[in-house]
Structure 1
Amino acid sequence: MVSTKEIVAANSAFATERTSGKVFVFTGATSGIGAATMEKLASMVDTATFYVAGRSAPRFSPLRAKLEALNQNIRIVFFECNVSLLADMDAFSALITASEKSVDYLCMSQGALPFTGAQYTTESLELCVSLSYLSRARLVSSLLPLLRNSPRPRILSILNGGKETTLNTADLGLAHPGSWTPFAAIAQTTMMTTLAFEHLARLPGNERVTFLHAFPGLVRTGIGANIVAPPGAGWWQRVRAAVLRGAVRVMMFLMGVDVERAGERGAYLVAGAGPGAGPGLAEGGAWLVDDKSEVAAGPVGVLERYRAEGWPEKIWEFTVGVFERVLGAA
Structure 2
Amino acid sequence: MSAYFCPKAGTIVSLADVRAYNSTLKNLAPGLVAIFVGGTSGIGLYTAREFARTTTSPHIYLVGRNETEATKITQELKTINSKSTVDFIKKDVSLLRKVDEVCKEIKEREKSVNLLFMSCGVLTLNGRDGTEEGLDRKHSLHYYARMRFIQNLAPLLTAAAENTDPNAALSRVVSVYDPFIGRANKPDFSDLALKSTFSLAHVANHSSAMQNFALERFARLYTKTAFVHEQPGSVETSLVKMPLVKLLYFLMKPLLVEKKESGERHLFYSTAPRYAPKVKADGKGVAMGADGVMGSGSYHLSWSGNAHGDDSEVVKEMRADGAEEKIWTHTEEVFKKVCEEGGMY
2:313 counterpart residue number = 301
Gap change, CA 1:80 and 1:40, over 3 Å in 2: same
2: distance between equivalents of 1:137 and 1:248?
A: 31
* Pair 1:270-2:270 in alignment: yes
1:171 pairs with 191, 211, 218, which one? 191
Gap change, CA 1:93 and 1:252, over 3 Å in 2: farther
* Pair 1:279-2:250 in alignment: no
| Alpha-carbon shift at residue 52 of structure 1 (Å) | 1.4
Q: Indicate the RMSD between aligned Cα atoms, in angstroms.
A: 1.9
2:330 is aligned with what amino acid? F
DSSP-derived class of the 1:2 partner: coil
2:329 is aligned with what amino acid? E
1:317 counterpart residue number = 329
1:155 counterpart residue number = 173
2:115 is aligned with what amino acid? Y
Gap change, CA 1:303 and 1:295, over 3 Å in 2: same
Task: Say whether the 8 Å CA contact 1:26–1:52 is kept in structure 2.
Answer: yes
DSSP-derived class of the 1:168 partner: coil
Gap change, CA 1:252 and 1:61, over 3 Å in 2: farther
1:4 counterpart residue number = 15
1: distance between equivalents of 2:84 and 2:189?
A: 44
Task: Say whether the 8 Å CA contact 1:103–1:147 is kept in structure 2.
Answer: yes
2:151 pairs with 131, 141, 157, which one? 141
1:195 counterpart residue number = 213
1:104 counterpart residue number = 114
* CA shift digits 1:145-175 (9 cap, x unpaired): 1111112310000000233222111110111
1:111 is aligned with what amino acid? G
Task: Say whether the 8 Å CA contact 2:181–2:204 is kept in structure 1.
Answer: no
What count of residue pairs does the alignment treat as equivalent? 309
2:259 counterpart residue number = 259
| Alpha-carbon shift at residue 252 of structure 1 (Å) | 4.2
1:214 pairs with 226, 230, 246, which one? 230
2: distance between equivalents of 1:263 and 1:311?
A: 33
Q: Which runs of 5+ in 2 are unaligned?
A: 1-11, 162-169, 288-293
2:321 is aligned with what amino acid? E
1:42 counterpart residue number = 52
* Pair 1:56-2:62 in alignment: no
* CA shift digits 1:174-216 (9 cap, x unpaired): 111xx1111111111010000101112222xx11110100010
Task: Say whether the 8 Å CA contact 1:154–1:209 is kept in structure 2.
Answer: yes
Task: Say whether the 8 Å CA contact 1:209–1:284 is kept in structure 2.
Answer: no
Task: Say whether the 8 Å CA contact 1:163–1:190 is kept in structure 2.
Answer: yes
TM-score under structure 2 normalisation?
0.84
Mapping 1:113-132, distance limit 5 Å = 113-132=123-142
DSSP-derived class of the 1:295 partner: coil
TM-score under structure 1 normalisation?
0.88
Task: Say whether the 8 Å CA contact 1:32–1:222 is kept in structure 2.
Answer: yes
Task: Say whether the 8 Å CA contact 1:275–1:293 is kept in structure 2.
Answer: no
Task: Say whether the 8 Å CA contact 1:208–1:283 is kept in structure 2.
Answer: no
DSSP-derived class of the 2:159 partner: coil
Gap change, CA 1:298 and 1:63, over 3 Å in 2: farther
Q: Which runs of 5+ in 1 are unaligned?
A: 227-241
1:143 is aligned with what amino acid? L
